[in-house]
């Protein structure tokens, strides 16, 4: 077809579908090619811009209707083709978002994007849209022009909102339902392209305008905010807090993947002035500093961060401790000083660069901070070929060989999931990249939804664009705080079951089987234990690892989100405050009515409720009460909200969390668990003894006075066991009033 110039969408649909199946047999590929061409356009094709005039052609199809495509299956797939560029965009749902990557994997870029989509679906469990991911390869033109062509191909197939009405894309053969929500973001190779994408959106008169691509000149600059690194640092701080170390006041040793010019690595290694960075590497250099001065090295890292396009070679050699230095990865071998030998716990006097990196990854340090690109840790049971990152095969290590106490995953895909599990089973403290670095997508989601709100106000003439941009800038730190709160609560939701794992094991095992039975979870795909392994762990009194619980947390949220969004619960007037609390404080005060009319108000309310219930109630809270009471997820959430308000659980939790680094973290977790048990008991009672559906506001109004009166009547008359518990908490450093309340 390239030879004849026939770039028909139908022909390329067939080629793409057969190629996507990753079939290596030529005859079978030919057969699939013919079958897929027929099947895609008779069954799966939702829209095609075959009749469009332009440099690109695109088609959209439903992957669930195409046999042999690898899992996971997104809801929609768009394939864009032109002589200069081709690419795919995969979406997990109608309201979905994720980055567009400039891929260098021309032979298998769909495989790359599919793997990233899988991670994005889990990461996006904390935000309004579900996961999406796109990628393109440049063939015969400059990268920016290829990006523009790819964006136009996506918008060619996307419906629009004009004067409140859905308007189908122009000159498109369309067979699917209305589908106007398309949001993109920066990714590898496209970090500075947001303004380009938004200009094209304006060219198409697309309703999202500059909310189409988050960031850019009138959006939130993630590197300046340090949003991804600061969000991941919440995980790092919690890991250390749970071993009674405050990394903001105590020195700790670090090895790193990346360099100071990078967003996540650079911002991350400036978040504490007590970091002792012993070693780091990127694709060019290896940095070694066996005995750094924390303050002076922090100042030098700050200088490099501010220096455009800095590398480790720019580090002032006078500030590197004896035996250290900066070495090229192109060197044939590197002499290892006695100081570096002691730091890495090795005896070799010289190593090849890749061998030295291997030793760095296995160094006995406090923290491994990943802010780079590539996969560096796998499981012993995995082969390098399974990892899909050939360029790092020579340096990759096994999870069981790591000697660091904590891993912070600021970057994506630094570990395989099995590598994480293996490391955790050997005592390491780690979550997942999706949980650690969700701050970036969370920030972008807030930006998009704030812009949707404010753009409507600008369109009505109640605000100028200049005023809008000024307001966006003013709210930067408030948006950051909303994001970090989500990071904090998600890590806490993992820590609680880890602290009482034998107690929660059977419940979580049943929940996994339930999700699998409902077709909402593929255990094998997510590396969750099968029934045989579950039985072995139960017998050995071994629970789920943190990386496994992170996956289960995400799927719990995905499941609850779907159940709530499909109900009438988001329409309950009681949740207006939940909707307003999503936005930074100036907005609800000034634009309460406009917020109530937000185009995604149902999705925002559902996301807020999902995060609140799962973060505070627990991973299997809704499933457990479904089992026990037979009630539906929406009714369980109604009961949760009544309990949450009647017993003022929010204030209780905030008071407990204010004691970070002041009392033993295990005491804190036990108090949070006590608050959670109060929610469980009250919700269970409501579901069993009140008529459904609960009127949330009226039930709170009815029950709150009695609960308050009961609490007041207990003053000075606590039973002996409650008084004893309160005294134990006081002796652990808990303020007297809070200790008494928790004990009750």
Q: What is the pLDDT of residues 250-287, one digit of tens each?
A: 999 999 999 999 999 999 999 999 999 999 999 999 99
Question: Is residue 460 a contact partner of residue 636, using CB atoms and an 8 Å limit?
Answer: no
Question: How high is the pLDDT of residue 263?
Answer: 93
Higher-pLDDT residue of 578 and 54 is: 578
Question: How high is the pLDDT of residue 148?
Answer: 95
pLDDT of 26 higher than 90 = no
Would you say residue 494 lies in a domain? no
User: Can you spell out the DSSP letters for 615-653?
Assistant: HHH-TTHHHHHHHHH---HHHHHHHHHHHHHHTTHHHHH
Would you say residue 571 lies in a domain? no
pLDDT of 31 higher than 80 = no
Question: How high is the pLDDT of residue 123?
Answer: 81
Q: What is the pLDDT of residues 537-569, one digit of tens each?
A: 999 999 999 999 999 999 999 999 999 999 999
Q: What is the pLDDT of residues 288-300, one digit of tens each?
A: 999 999 999 999 9
Higher-pLDDT residue of 679 and 25 is: 679
Do 149 and 45 fall within a single domain?
yes
Do 211 and 311 fall within a single domain?
no
Question: How high is the pLDDT of residue 175?
Answer: 81
The closest alpha carbon to 743, from 84, 221, 157, 731, belongs to 731
Do 134 and 280 fall within a single domain?
no
pLDDT of 330 higher than 90 = yes
Mean per-residue pLDDT, 329-342: 97
Whether residue 349 lies in the annotated active site: no
pLDDT of 684 higher than 80 = yes
Let me know the angle formed at the C-alpha of 242 by 296 and 414, rounded to the nearest 5 degrees: 65
Do 203 and 233 fall within a single domain?
no
Do 197 and 338 fall within a single domain?
no
% pLDDT > 70, the chain: 92
Would you say residue 535 lies in a domain? no
* pLDDT confidence band for 46 (50 / 70 / 90): low
CB contact set of 84 (below 8 Å; sequence gap of 6+): 55, 138, 139, 140, 141, 145, 146, 149
Mean per-residue pLDDT, 451-465: 95
* pLDDT confidence band for 196 (50 / 70 / 90): very high
Question: How high is the pLDDT of residue 128?
Answer: 82
Do 246 and 210 fall within a single domain?
no
The long-range contacts involving 385-389, CB below 8 angstroms and separated by at least 24 positions, are 386/416, 387/416, 388/111, 388/112, 388/115, 389/413
Question: How high is the pLDDT of residue 164?
Answer: 83
Question: How high is the pLDDT of residue 313?
Answer: 97
* pLDDT confidence band for 120 (50 / 70 / 90): confident
Domain membership of residue 634 as a residue range? 620-744
Mean pLDDT of the chain: 90
Do 272 and 209 fall within a single domain?
no
Question: How high is the pLDDT of residue 152?
Answer: 94
Q: 153-190 b/e with 16+ CB inside 10 Å = b?
A: bbbbbbbbeeeeeeeebeebbbeeeebbbbbbbbbbbb
d(CA 709, CA 713): 6
* pLDDT confidence band for 721 (50 / 70 / 90): confident
Do 149 and 252 fall within a single domain?
no
Do 79 and 132 fall within a single domain?
yes
Question: How high is the pLDDT of residue 156?
Answer: 92
Query: Which residue, of 192, 217, 242, is where some domain finishes?
Result: 217
d(CA 481, CA 473): 14
Question: How high is the pLDDT of residue 72?
Answer: 85
pLDDT of 25 higher than 50 = no
Q: Which of 128-132, 234-238, 546-550, 612-616 is least confident?
A: 128-132
Would you say residue 444 lies in a domain? no
Mean per-residue pLDDT, 208-216: 91
Mean per-residue pLDDT, 681-696: 94
Three-class HEC string of 534-549:
HHHHHHCCCCCCHHHH
CATH code where residue 298 lies? 3.40.50.720
pLDDT of 29 higher than 60 = no
3-state secondary structure of 308: coil
% pLDDT > 90, the chain: 76
Cα–Cα distances (Å) from 58 to 54, 377, 551, 623, in that order, read 11, 38, 34, 42
Do 161 and 83 fall within a single domain?
yes
Query: Which residue, of 197, 217, 237, is where some domain finishes?
Result: 217
DSSP 8-class letter at 75? S
How many C-beta atoms lie closer than 10 Å to residue 662's C-beta? 11
Would you say residue 727 lies in a domain? yes
How many C-beta atoms lie closer than 10 Å to residue 243's C-beta? 11
Mean per-residue pLDDT, 33-56: 55
Question: How high is the pLDDT of residue 122?
Answer: 84
Question: How high is the pLDDT of residue 722?
Answer: 81
Cα–Cα distances (Å) from 690 to 604, 684, 686, 699, 709, in that order, read 28, 10, 5, 9, 21
Q: What is the pLDDT of residues 146-190, one digit of tens each?
A: 999 999 999 999 999 988 899 998 888 888 889 999 999 888 889
pLDDT of 457 higher than 50 = yes
How many C-beta atoms lie closer than 10 Å to residue 524's C-beta? 10
Do 254 and 371 fall within a single domain?
yes
* pLDDT confidence band for 41 (50 / 70 / 90): very low
Q: Which of 31-45, 227-241, 626-640, 715-729 is least confident?
A: 31-45
Would you say residue 394 lies in a domain? yes
Question: Is residue 292 a contact partner of residue 278, using CB atoms and an 8 Å limit?
Answer: yes
Q: What is the pLDDT of residues 63-100, one digit of tens each?
A: 888 777 888 889 999 999 999 999 999 999 999 888 99
Do 627 and 727 fall within a single domain?
yes
pLDDT of 456 higher than 50 = yes
| Of 36, 60, 118, 133, catalytic | 133
pLDDT of 15 higher than 60 = no
Would you say residue 606 lies in a domain? no
Question: How high is the pLDDT of residue 49?
Answer: 53
Could you give the number of structural domains in the chain? 3
pLDDT of 43 higher than 70 = no
Question: How high is the pLDDT of residue 229?
Answer: 97
Query: Which residue, of 437, 458, 490, is where some domain finishes?
Result: 437
* pLDDT confidence band for 576 (50 / 70 / 90): very high
Question: How high is the pLDDT of residue 42?
Answer: 52
Question: How high is the pLDDT of residue 129?
Answer: 79
Q: Which residue has the tokens 């699998």?
A: 516
* pLDDT confidence band for 44 (50 / 70 / 90): low
Decide: residue 348, CB within 10 A, 0-12 exposed, 13-18 middle, 19+ buried: middle
Would you say residue 555 lies in a domain? no
């Amino acid at each position: 077809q390239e030879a004849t110039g026939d770039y028909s969408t139908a022909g390329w649909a067939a080629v793409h579908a057969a190629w996507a199946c990753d079939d290596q047999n030529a005859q079978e590929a030919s057969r699939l090619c013919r079958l897929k061409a027929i099947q895609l356009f008779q069954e799966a094709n939702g829209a095609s811009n075959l009749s469009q005039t332009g440099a690109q052609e695109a088609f959209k199809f439903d992957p669930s209707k195409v046999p042999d495509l690898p899992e996971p299956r997104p809801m929609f797939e768009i394939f864009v083709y032109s002589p200069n560029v081709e690419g795919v965009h995969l979406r997990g749902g109608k309201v979905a978002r994720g980055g567009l990557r400039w891929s260098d994997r021309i032979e298998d870029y769909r495989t790359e994007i599919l793997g990233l989509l899988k991670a994005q679906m889990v990461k996006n469990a904390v935000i309004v849209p579900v996961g999406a991911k796109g990628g393109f390869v440049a063939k015969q033109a400059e990268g920016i022009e290829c990006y523009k062509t790819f964006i136009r191909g996506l918008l060619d197939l996307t419906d629009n909102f004009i004067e409140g009405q859905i308007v189908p894309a122009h000159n498109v053969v369309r067979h699917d339902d209305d589908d106007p929500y398309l949001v993109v973001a920066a990714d590898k190779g496209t970090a500075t392209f947001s303004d380009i994408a938004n200009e094209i959106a304006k060219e198409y008169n697309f309703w999202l305008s500059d909310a189409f691509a988050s960031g850019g000149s009138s959006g939130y600059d993630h590197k300046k905010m340090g949003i991804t690194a600061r969000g991941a640092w919440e995980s790092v701080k919690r890991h250390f807090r749970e071993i009674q170390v405050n990394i903001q006041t105590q020195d700790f040793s670090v090895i790193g993947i990346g360099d100071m010019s990078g967003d996540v690595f650079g911002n991350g290694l400036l978040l504490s002035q007590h970091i002792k960075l012993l070693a780091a590497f990127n694709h060019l250099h290896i940095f070694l500093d066996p005995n750094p001065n924390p303050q002076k090295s922090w100042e030098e890292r700050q200088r490099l961060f501010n220096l455009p396009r800095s590398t480790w070679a720019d580090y002032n050699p006078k500030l590197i401790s004896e035996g250290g230095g900066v070495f090229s990865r192109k060197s044939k071998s590197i002499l290892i000083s006695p100081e570096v030998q002691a730091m890495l716990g090795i005896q070799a006097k010289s190593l090849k660069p890749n061998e030295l990196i291997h030793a760095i990854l296995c160094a006995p340090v406090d923290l491994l901070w990943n802010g780079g690109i590539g996969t560096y840790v796998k499981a012993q049971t995995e082969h390098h070929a399974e990892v899909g990152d050939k360029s790092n095969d020579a340096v990759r290590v096994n999870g069981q060989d790591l000697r660091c106490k904590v891993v912070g995953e600021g970057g994506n895909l630094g570990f395989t999931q099995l590598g994480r599990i293996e490391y955790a089973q050997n005592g390491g403290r780690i979550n997942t990249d999706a949980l650690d670095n969700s701050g970036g997508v969370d920030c972008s989601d807030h930006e998009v939804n704030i812009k949707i709100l404010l753009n409507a106000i600008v369109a009505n003439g109640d605000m100028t664009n200049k005023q809008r941009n000024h307001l966006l800038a003013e709210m930067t730190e408030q948006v950051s705080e909303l994001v970090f709160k989500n990071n904090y609560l998600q890590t806490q939701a993992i820590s609680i079951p880890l602290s009482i794992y034998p107690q929660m094991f059977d419940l979580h095992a049943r929940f996994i089987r339930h999700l699998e039975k409902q077709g909402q979870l593929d255990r094998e795909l997510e590396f969750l234990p099968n029934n045989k392994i579950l039985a072995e762990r139960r017998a050995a009194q071994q629970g789920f690892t943190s990386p496994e619980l992170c996956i289960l947390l995400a799927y719990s949220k995905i499941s609850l989100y779907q159940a709530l969004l499909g109900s009438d619960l988001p329409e309950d007037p009681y949740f207006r405050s939940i909707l307003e609390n999503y936005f930074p404080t100036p907005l609800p005060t000034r634009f309460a009515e406009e917020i109530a009319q937000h185009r995604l108000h149902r999705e925002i309310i559902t996301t807020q409720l999902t995060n609140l219930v799962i973060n505070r109630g627990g991973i299997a809270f809704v499933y457990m009460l479904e089992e026990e009471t037979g009630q539906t997820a929406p009714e369980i959430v109604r009961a949760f909200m009544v309990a949450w308000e009647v017993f003022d659980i929010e204030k209780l939790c905030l008071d407990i969390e204010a004691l970070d680094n002041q009392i033993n973290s295990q005491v804190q977790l036990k108090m949070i668990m006590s608050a959670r048990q109060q929610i469980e008991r009250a919700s269970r009672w409501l579901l069993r003894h009140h008529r459904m559906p609960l009127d949330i506001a009226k039930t709170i109004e009815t029950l709150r006075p009695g609960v308050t009166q009961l609490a007041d009547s207990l003053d000075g008359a606590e039973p002996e066991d409650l008084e004893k518990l309160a005294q134990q908490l006081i002796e652990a450093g808990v303020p007297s009033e809070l200790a008494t309340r928790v004990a009750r």
